[in-house]
Amino acid sequence: MKPSRQVTMVATTLLMVCMLTSVWLLRQVDRMRGAATLQEVLYISSPAALKRLSLGYNGLLADIYWTRAVQYFGSKHFAGAQHYDLLAPLLEITTALDPRLTVAYEFGANFLAPPPPNGAGMPERAIQLTEFGIRNNPAEWRLYYDLGFIYYTELKDYSHAADAFARGSQVPNAHPFLRVMAAQMAQHGGELRMAQMMWSTTYQSTEDRNVRANAATHLRALQVEQDVSNLESLVADYRAKTGRLPASFTDLQSAGLLREIPVDPFGHTYKLTADGRVEVRTPDDFPFLTKGTPPGYVAPPPRFLPSD
Partner 1 sequence: MSSRIPHIASNTFREAVRDRVLYNLIAFAVLMCGASILVGQISIGIERLVVINLGLTAVSLFGVVIAIFIGIGLVSKEIEKRTLYTVLSRPVQRWEFIVGKFLGLAGTLVVNTFFMAIGVFLALLYVSHRVQAADGWVLVALYFIVLQFLIITALALFFSSFSSPLLSAVFAFSLFVIGSFAEDLRGFAAMAQGVAHWFATGAAYLVPNFSSLNVIGSVAHGQGVAGALIFSETAYAIVYAAMALCGAVLIFERRNLK
* Stretch near partner 1 under the rule CB under 8 A, chosen from 36-44, 52-60, 266-274, 290-298: 52-60
For 30, residues 6+ apart whose C-beta sits below 8 A from its C-beta are: none
Other CB atoms closer than 10 Å to residue 34's CB: what's the count?
Answer: 9
Choice from 3, 34, 56, 243 touching partner 1 (CB under 8 A): 56
Other CB atoms closer than 10 Å to residue 45's CB: what's the count?
Answer: 13
* Stretch near partner 1 under the rule CB under 8 A, chosen from 64-72, 176-184, 243-251, 257-265: 64-72
Shortest approach of partner 1 to residue 62 CB, angstroms? 8
Per-residue burial over 126-145, b = 16 or more CB atoms within 10 Å of its CB, e = otherwise: bbbbbebbbebbeebbbbbb
| Alpha-helical runs (H) found in 40-101 | 47-53, 58-78, 87-97
* Stretch near partner 1 under the rule CB under 8 A, chosen from 33-41, 95-103, 172-180, 259-267: 95-103
Q: Is 39 in the site for partner 1 (CB under 8 A)?
A: no
Q: Is 67 in the site for partner 1 (CB under 8 A)?
A: yes
- Torsional sign, CA 237, 242, 246, 249: negative
Q: Is 11 in the site for partner 1 (CB under 8 A)?
A: no
CA angle 211, 102, 100 (to 5 degrees): 165
Shortest approach of partner 1 to residue 63 CB, angstroms? 5
CA of 183: how far to CAs of 96, 139, 187, 237, in Å? 34, 21, 6, 33
Q: Which is nearer to partner 1, 22 or 75 (CB)?
A: 75
Shortest approach of partner 1 to residue 87 CB, angstroms? 14
CA pair distance 256, 240, nearest whole angstrom: 14
Q: Which is nearer to partner 1, 58 or 184 (CB)?
A: 58
Binding pattern for the stretch 189-228 against partner 1, x by CB under 8 A and - elsewhere: -------------------x-x------------------
* Stretch near partner 1 under the rule CB under 8 A, chosen from 12-20, 94-102, 218-226, 292-300: 94-102
Shortest approach of partner 1 to residue 187 CB, angstroms? 34
Closest Cα partner for 35 from 66, 95, 81? 81
Shortest approach of partner 1 to residue 90 CB, angstroms? 13
CA angle 61, 132, 82 (to 5 degrees): 75
Site residues for partner 1, 96-125, by CB under 8 A, read 98, 100-101, 103, 106-107
CA pair distance 156, 272, nearest whole angstrom: 32
Q: Which is nearer to partner 1, 102 or 196 (CB)?
A: 102
Interface residues with partner 1 (CB under 8 A) are 52, 55-60, 62-63, 66-67, 70-71, 98, 100-101, 103, 106-107, 208, 210
